[in-house]
Structure 1
Amino acid sequence: MEWGQFFGTAAVVVVIVILQWPRMKDYSKRDKGGFIALLLIGLILSLFNLQHIKGPLDLEKAIFHPISRIIGK
């Protein structure tokens, strides 16, 4: 994890909230909650090194490869 990237993303999130929140005063609580939730999801994902996380195909391979050896015989 690179802390510089995380803090950079956190700074961008803060700037977005500062600039957009006054424009959102007429929006419902649900819309504001969705706005905050999406920003928090992006901030949390910035903590992970997503280039090195295995994808769904690796999971499928791990599950079905042993089964295919049993069925194939």
Structure 2
Amino acid sequence: MTLSEIEATVLDHWLRYHRSTVSKWSAGDLERQAAAVAQLADAELQALERIGVDRVIAWPDVRNQMVLKAPPEISS
């Protein structure tokens, strides 16, 4: 998964399953938060690659533990 694919997965999950939370956010906040989660997930994938775990093999675990989560609470 590329960074943009991870971010798209985050956005899809939030808009599908947590719409009531993210609908209160501005478009900019939504993009920034999704990008931050995607960057953290990508960093985790890179760390796993450095210890020899294939990115494709690691993706399902990283996705389930870091990406398919409720969005963070942010104050407006």
The answer, yes or no, to whether TM exceeds 0.5 is no
Q: Which has the larger radius of gyration?
A: 1
Structure 1 or 2: more helix by fraction: 1
- TM-score, length-normalised on structure 2? 0.39
